[in-house]
Amino acid sequence: MIEPSAIAILTAIMVPVIGGLLYIIRAEIRRNSQVTDATHEQVIPNHGTSLRDAVDRIERRITDVHDEVKAARQDFSGHLTWHLDRKD
């Protein structure tokens, strides 16, 4: 049978150890929660400053550039056709 003094020593050691581990675990959960909140804020549009807003702006600009390139390609094709037809 375990002696009461051994139980008291074991308790005196385990209580602070478990308390310290709980403190560390809670701090890590709090830190992860803050990181998750900050990340979540970036993927929701907020009218200008979030990462999502930046991606949306880039996507619109790329679409505009794509349309301009398509129009320029058509103009160039028409211009080449005009030159080729003129030489005949």
- pLDDT (tens place) for every residue of the chain, 88 residues total: 779 899 999 999 999 999 999 999 999 999 999 999 998 988 888 888 899 999 999 999 999 999 999 999 999 988 888 888 886 5
**Same domain for 82 and 59:** yes
Is residue 33 helix, strand or coil? helix
Q: What is the pLDDT of residue 88?
A: 57
**Same domain for 54 and 22:** no
- Interatomic CA distance for residues 30 and 40, integer angstroms: 15
- Interatomic CA distance for residues 22 and 20, integer angstroms: 5
Domain count, the chain: 2
The residues near 53 (Cβ < 8 Å, ≥ 6 apart) are 45, 46, 47
Q: Do the Cβ atoms of 41 and 50 come closer than 8 Å? A: yes
With a threshold of 0.95, does the pTM exceed it?
no
**Same domain for 2 and 35:** yes
Q: What is the pLDDT of residue 9?
A: 94
What is each CA distance from 61 to 7, 42, 46, 72, 75, in whole angstroms? 71, 20, 19, 16, 21
Q: What is the pLDDT of residue 82?
A: 87
Domain span including residue 23: 1-42
**Same domain for 54 and 37:** no
Q: What is the pLDDT of residue 2?
A: 79
**Same domain for 28 and 10:** yes
